[in-house]
Structure 1
Amino acid sequence: METARRGLFEPGPGIGAGLRDLPANINLKTGSAGLVAAIFGCSGPALIVIGAAGAGKLSEGQTVAWLLAIYGLGGLISFVMGLYYKMPITGAYSIPGAALVAGSLATFPFDQAVGAFVMAGVLVLILGVTGLIGKLMRWLPMPIVMAMIAGALIRFGIGAVNAVSALPIVVGAAVVAFFLSMRFLKVVPPVLSALVVGLVAVAFTGSFGTNEAGISFVLPELTAPSFTIDAFLAIAVPLAILVVGAENAQATGVLMAEKYPAPVNAMTIISGIGGILAGFLGGHNANIAGPMTAICSSDQAGERREGRYAATVINGVLFAGFGVFAGAVVPLILMLPGPLIGAVAGLAMINVLVMAFQSAFSKPAGYQIGAFVALIVAMSNVSILGISAPFWALLFGAVVSMLVEKPVEGIDGGGAAIGAREPA
């Protein structure tokens, strides 16, 4: 983490090095992980954004502009960050942020909401430029961060189980294929086997949906931003906290769990820039994404950690393409059954969750009580003052640990400033 003190951006190998080594790292595993992450991000979450646009009575052109902003810029973030750092740092947007905006559009006209989108990006950029986020992540104990990750992502594992009851034949076949492939087909990524078998089962059972997005292929319609104090307080501040306290925090924890030196400052700054640009295009933000970073950084993207960034680059290309052709592609993507998409995403995160739990509760690491508090708060999915659970999980976990666990010398808890703790 010392690199964060040398400048605004932590140094990386560079885009040239990433491009040079990219062909050697594109293979079946990185390709399948990137594809699964893209399908996950371009299916259900797209419907949430479209629903928010409907709640605000946006025109078709404004809806297409919103999708172009968050998917196009989210894909660009993946491409730039993945290549520059040669890490699976994956861009997208905040799904809880879309839900927040959906509620706000009942009160605020869209031009004021767009102004708030831009201001949220400015707030995130300030946090990155000042280095405050980097300092915070150096201070936070690693077990508490990992417990937050486990609690925030466990819903995907639970969702995979629930998906079996929702669509037994299709999802059951996908799950069986995943574990059989893990055991017997070492050259084929289990997540790809699950997706292919699931799609075959969908075809045989006629389970394709008939979802219609309600938009056609039209040109984007830009909306001039209007800046107001009310929208700043009601939309910009909560949205900025969601980006930093939920999405970026999850992505940082996932990368740390996979032994990557996460460039926290750069991730925050690029999320701020993405938020500003997306706002001017009419989208609520473009930032580093937690769940898709988890998919692209897991061992499902290959045994070689140094090559997994190719999954993020592939995901970025697919994401950006989805944004450009959103009006035509959304109805097709939404024909895939939701339970299958949720199950495949959950299966892809199994090892991420295992490592998060191990890092959070391994005895030498300490912080057992604080980590447990962080875990259950993140699992609760509680929202306080419009701020989602991952932020409160980190806060409450750290506070409880400071109150009831005394430091243990000689063991680094994950932050640079404090060591492990044991119950007082």
Structure 2
Amino acid sequence: MDRTKRGFVEPGPGIGAGFRDLPANVNPKTMSAGLVAAIFGCSGPALIVIGAADTGNLSNGQTVAWLLAIYGLGGLISFIMALNYKMPITGAYSIPGAALVAGSLATFSFDQAVGAFIMAGVLVLILGVTGLIGKVMRWLPMPIVMAMIAGALIRFGIGAVDAVGKLPIVVGAATIAFFLSMRFVKVIPPVLSALVVGLVAVALTGSFGTGEAGISFVMPEFTAPTFTIDAFLAIAVPLAILVVGAENAQATGVLLAEGYRAPVNAMTIISGIGGILAGFLGGHNANIAGPMTAICSSDQAGEDRQGRYGATVVNGILFAAFGVFAGAVVPLILMLPGPLIGAVAGLAMINVLVMAFQSAFSKSAGYQIGAFVALIVAMSNISILGISAPFWALLAGAAISALVEWPTAGARKEATSTGGAH
């Protein structure tokens, strides 16, 4: 019996198997990819959350509780999914969701927002348990999904170029180190070379930041939820769509591009559970993360695809530790210059982007018009009804493809065939 078609959780090798094989898959490449993903997720995105907390006039304790919820549970999701499926399925939280919440806190009290966080998690959980998201992802033509991934992640590549202009010596040195390492040094991951050389350049040029985050080491303060219809419509529904239509969709596409059979239902279910638990702790959602899954699943995490889950485990440990010690760690993270973090993250995604473009615009795959529409919509960063571009890219790409390309059943089956490693 095909359990996935009944909406159940897809089976995996199991956490025991993941633990057993983990020592063999924790190496310099997986560790460096996991570290880069963690630094990326614990720097700029943390500032978005802190800014949202400031908008809502939250206490330091409530802010620390928010960070504990999304980072602690995000790390736990990475740990569970990576070990159970032996895939680099990486947990974190919705960065656009944090921006959505920041705007909403000008209208809603934080206890109402917390109630909406929990309701958003329930919505995501229902979508996963019913298997609806898995069915939609199996129906969507793969070139359109890959084009969405390319459009959504291209900003990281462009960001790496922009970073050179902002901090030329530091970022330039890191970039040169990356490509020289890729060409001449096989034992050291290029992304690790870039990070180390970048940090040395930061030290030599005195480019460290001030390390002022606006919060200190305090105990978390939890907020009792209040459930209202207004907050459900304004926060919960858009947040649930962001989690499923942006973060999970990106992560699924990245995994498919790297040759994995993504457990879509399980990814949605654990994102729903993460949203509910994070809400009770005072955080907006803990779920599968698109950009960090891209970093941990790329070839920068090692040539052996079956071993790249070690990068996600490393990332999960660092994420959880960041959540626990958020009040003390945030000022240290803020000392790293943003352009260096953005550049290293962009360099780590080069091959992911190359594969996404190849899969999206291969003549044999078809759906070229729909894929192009998905690409440009995802690149636009448009937001409608509080829902970010990746969701609209999939919707627009599929709609235009159905209108002008009218694929046959056989072509659709071929284009949506994923194959891949377990």
TM-score, with length taken from structure 1: 0.97
Amino acid at match of 2:60: E
Within 2, Cα distance between the matches of 1:236 and 1:118?
Answer: 8
In structure 1, what is the equivalent of residue 78 of structure 2?
78
Q: Is the 8 A contact 2:69 2:283 kept in 1?
A: yes
Within 2, Cα distance between the matches of 1:316 and 1:44?
Answer: 18
Gaps of at least 5 residues in structure 1 are 418-424
Within 1, Cα distance between the matches of 2:294 and 2:236?
Answer: 26
SS of 1:224's equivalent in the other structure is coil
In structure 2, what is the equivalent of residue 420 of structure 1?
none
Q: Relative to structure 2, which stretch is displaced further, 157-166 or 5-14?
A: 5-14
1:168-187 → structure 2 map (5 Å cutoff) = 168-187=168-187
Q: Is the 8 A contact 1:82 1:90 kept in 2?
A: yes
How big is each residue's C-alpha offset from its partner over 1:213-261, in whole Å with a ceiling of 9 and x where there is no partner? 1111111100000000000000000000000000000000000000100
Give 1:8 shift.
1.5
Give 1:407 shift.
2.0
In structure 1, what is the equivalent of residue 216 of structure 2?
216
How big is each residue's C-alpha offset from its partner over 1:258-292, in whole Å with a ceiling of 9 and x where there is no partner? 01000000000000000000000000000000000
* Structural RMSD (CA): 1.3
Within 2, Cα distance between the matches of 1:413 and 1:372?
Answer: 19
Amino acid at match of 1:22: L
Q: Is the 8 A contact 1:61 1:219 kept in 2?
A: yes
1:32 aligns with 2:32: yes
1:249 aligns with 2:277: no
Within 2, Cα distance between the matches of 1:413 and 1:388?
Answer: 29
Q: Is the 8 A contact 1:366 1:413 kept in 2?
A: no
In structure 2, what is the equivalent of residue 194 of structure 1?
194
Within 2, Cα distance between the matches of 1:120 and 1:15?
Answer: 28
Give 1:189 shift.
0.4
SS of 2:407's equivalent in the other structure is strand
Within 2, Cα distance between the matches of 1:395 and 1:4?
Answer: 23
1:415 aligns with 2:416: yes
Q: Is the 8 A contact 2:247 2:288 kept in 1?
A: yes
Within 1, Cα distance between the matches of 2:400 and 2:100?
Answer: 29
Give 1:4 shift.
1.4
In structure 1, what is the equivalent of residue 21 of structure 2?
21
TM-score, with length taken from structure 2: 0.97
Within 2, Cα distance between the matches of 1:3 and 1:130?
Answer: 12
Q: In structure 2, do the counterparts of structure 1 residues 163 and 22 end up closer, same or farther at CA, with 3 Å as the change threshold? A: same
Within 2, Cα distance between the matches of 1:178 and 1:47?
Answer: 27
Gaps of at least 5 residues in structure 2 are none
SS of 1:407's equivalent in the other structure is coil
Give 1:415 shift.
3.0
Q: Is the 8 A contact 1:33 1:191 kept in 2?
A: yes
Q: Is the 8 A contact 2:366 2:415 kept in 1?
A: no
Give 1:203 shift.
0.2
Amino acid at match of 1:38: A
Give 1:302 shift.
0.1
Within 1, Cα distance between the matches of 2:318 and 2:398?
Answer: 38
Within 1, Cα distance between the matches of 2:283 and 2:2?
Answer: 34
Q: Is the 8 A contact 1:139 1:416 kept in 2?
A: no
Within 2, Cα distance between the matches of 1:4 and 1:410?
Answer: 22
In structure 2, what is the equivalent of residue 240 of structure 1?
240
Q: Is the 8 A contact 2:82 2:313 kept in 1?
A: yes
Amino acid at match of 1:51: G
Identity across matched positions, percent: 86
Q: Is the 8 A contact 2:7 2:130 kept in 1?
A: no
Count how many residue pairs are aligned between Structure 1 and Structure 2: 417
In structure 1, what is the equivalent of residue 114 of structure 2?
114
Give 1:409 shift.
6.2
Q: Is the 8 A contact 2:171 2:343 kept in 1?
A: yes
Within 2, Cα distance between the matches of 1:213 and 1:142?
Answer: 42
Within 2, Cα distance between the matches of 1:208 and 1:413?
Answer: 51
* 4+ aligned runs moved over 4 Å, structure 1: none
Q: Is the 8 A contact 1:73 1:278 kept in 2?
A: yes
In structure 1, what is the equivalent of residue 146 of structure 2?
146
In structure 2, what is the equivalent of residue 421 of structure 1?
none
